[in-house]
């Protein structure tokens, strides 16, 4: 919201501030890259809600605000006399977004929780990893946090639109586990209808073949996704096995799912004879969906990320101290609307 012009004031506990200031890779000034990345464009003040003076100061801010976002456990704000029913007396048009691990109601509402708990409780961690192996972290440790931020923003915007029509505010209830749970495909109806319990499948897809990650001759990996029979026909031609597109054992998606191991073996062998860039080019020429499995160094070097200015370098200014350059992700819409950031292409990253 701040990137699009909203004035965002972050309230932190006096004395030690937000714990995120100390999480992540430390840089000069005693902060971390994680904090500098996520707290950018925000103003910060300290306020003790538990004290009467702090609560009154908060109400003065609410009186002038459009949106309040809080992530205390349910009942905490009410304990301080700052719940939604209290705040709407101060400002009847206020929108209050409440982000918790399990939501504002239900038997688990009082439980503490963070993104990792949400990944586990929602069923995501169960699906990540190799068959029979340990459940794994789904890439980003804070995935549920970031997705909940998106849902919180959508909820706030919907509530603001409602306010435009009625003049009344609303409160928005966001649970970390729900934001993950809503991103599943057919897993819910498949269990409800047929009792199917999906297990971890590594890089495989339960309903699409070939649709996986494959190792190239140089040790790198590519992703190939043939989500239709037509795409598989193109792949069969590129592999040099056009007959596979007409073989009853592989001509349809259902047949390929049934014969997954055979199909994947053919694709794996073919990919294994090519270096990554060569393989990607062959697939592009054949109009086969394929892409490299990038690490962060690949991303910084990739011309597409740079052409679209997905990486921005900003200077974090501190009183009487030198600036600390920080790279972060940026939305294209922001770049088109606001011309306030350095568009320098991404070089090799260096420490602050």
Told to judge if 105 belongs to the known catalytic residues of this protein, a careful annotator would answer no
Closest by Cα among 35, 36, 59, 39 to 47: 59
Domain assignment present for 83: yes
Q: Identify the residue whose tokens are 């350095």.
A: 342
284 and 313 inside one domain: no
| Last residue within a domain, chosen from 138, 159, 181 | 181
Per-residue pLDDT at 269: 98
60 and 175 inside one domain: yes
Is the distance from CB of 162 to CB of 168 less than 8 angstroms?
Answer: yes
Domain assignment present for 68: yes
319 and 229 inside one domain: no
Closest by Cα among 17, 20, 16, 61 to 39: 20
174 and 61 inside one domain: yes
112 and 172 inside one domain: yes
57 and 143 inside one domain: yes
Query: 255: which 2 tokens?
Result: 């047949």
Domain assignment present for 20: no
258 and 319 inside one domain: no
Domain assignment present for 308: yes
Is it the case that residue 341 has pLDDT exceeding 50? Answer: no
168 and 102 inside one domain: yes
- Among 18, 48, 145, 173, which one carries the catalytic annotation? 145
Is it the case that residue 228 has pLDDT exceeding 80? Answer: yes
Q: Assign residue 247 the CATH number of its domain.
A: 3.30.1540.10
pLDDT tens readout for residues 284-313: 999 999 999 999 999 999 999 989 988 877
Domain assignment present for 205: no
**Band of residue 37 on the pLDDT scale cut at 50, 70, 90:** confident
CA dihedral of 175, 177, 178, 180, whole degrees rounded to 10: 130
pLDDT tens readout for residues 162-210: 999 999 999 999 999 999 999 999 999 999 999 999 999 999 999 999 9
Domain assignment present for 100: yes
**Band of residue 342 on the pLDDT scale cut at 50, 70, 90:** very low
- Quick one: three-class SS letters along 281-321? HHHHHCCCCEEECCCHHHHHHCHHHHHCCCEEEEEEEECCE
Alpha carbons 283 and 202: distance in angstroms, whole number: 23
Is it the case that residue 319 has pLDDT exceeding 60? Answer: no
269 and 171 inside one domain: no
Q: Which residues pair with 230 in a beta bridge?
A: none
Helix (H, G, I), strand (E, B) or coil at 125: helix
Is the distance from CB of 324 to CB of 315 less than 8 angstroms?
Answer: yes
Q: Quote the pTM value.
A: 0.86
φ/ψ of 335, rounded to 5, equals: -65, -35
283 and 330 inside one domain: no
Range of the domain at 252: 211-293
Percent of residues, the chain, with pLDDT higher than 70:
89
Cα 139 from chain centroid (whole Å)? 10
Q: Assign residue 93 the CATH number of its domain.
A: 3.40.50.10540
- Total of domains in the chain: 3
Domain assignment present for 241: yes
Alpha carbons 349 and 352: distance in angstroms, whole number: 9
Domain assignment present for 94: yes
User: Strand locations in the chain, DSSP E?
Assistant: 9-12, 43-46, 67-70, 95-100, 171-175, 211-215, 221-225, 290-292, 311-318, 321-329
108 and 152 inside one domain: yes
Average pLDDT, the chain: 90
56 and 162 inside one domain: yes
């Amino acid at each position: 919201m701040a990137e699009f012009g909203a004035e965002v004031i972050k309230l932190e506990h006096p004395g030690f501030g937000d714990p995120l200031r100390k999480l992540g890779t430390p840089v000069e000034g005693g902060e971390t890259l994680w904090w500098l990345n996520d707290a950018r464009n925000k103003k910060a003040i300290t306020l003790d809600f538990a004290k009467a003076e702090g609560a009154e100061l908060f109400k003065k801010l609410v009186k002038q605000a459009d949106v309040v976002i809080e992530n205390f456990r349910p009942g905490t704000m009410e304990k301080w006399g700052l719940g939604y029913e209290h705040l709407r007396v101060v400002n009847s048009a206020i929108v209050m977004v409440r982000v918790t691990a399990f939501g504002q109601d239900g038997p688990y509402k009082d439980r503490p929780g963070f993104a990792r708990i949400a990944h586990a409780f929602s069923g995501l961690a169960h699906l990540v990893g190799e068959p029979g192996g340990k459940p794994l972290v789904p890439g980003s440790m804070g995935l549920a946090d970031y997705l909940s931020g998106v849902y919180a923003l959508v909820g706030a915007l919907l509530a603001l639109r409602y306010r435009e029509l009625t003049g009344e505010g609303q409160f928005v209830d966001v649970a970390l586990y729900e934001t993950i749970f809503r991103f599943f495909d057919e897993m819910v109806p498949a269990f409800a209808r047929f009792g199917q319990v999906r297990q971890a499948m590594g890089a495989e897809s339960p309903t699409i073949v070939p649709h996986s990650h494959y190792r190239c001759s140089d040790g790198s990996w590519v992703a190939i996704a043939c989500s239709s029979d037509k795409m598989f026909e193109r792949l069969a031609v590129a592999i040099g096995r056009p007959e596979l597109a007409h073989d009853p054992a592989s001509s349809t998606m259902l047949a390929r799912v049934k014969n997954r191991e055979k199909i994947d073996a053919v694709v794996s062998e073919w990919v294994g004879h090519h270096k990554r860039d060569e393989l990607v080019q062959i697939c592009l020429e054949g109009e086969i969906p394929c892409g490299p499995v990038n690490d962060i160094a690949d991303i910084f070097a990739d011309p597409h990320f740079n052409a679209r200015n997905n990486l921005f370098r900003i200077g974090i200014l501190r009183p009487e101290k030198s600036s600390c350059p920080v790279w972060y992700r940026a939305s294209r819409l922001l770049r088109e609307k606001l011309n306030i950031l350095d568009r320098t292409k991404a070089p090799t990253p260096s420490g602050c």
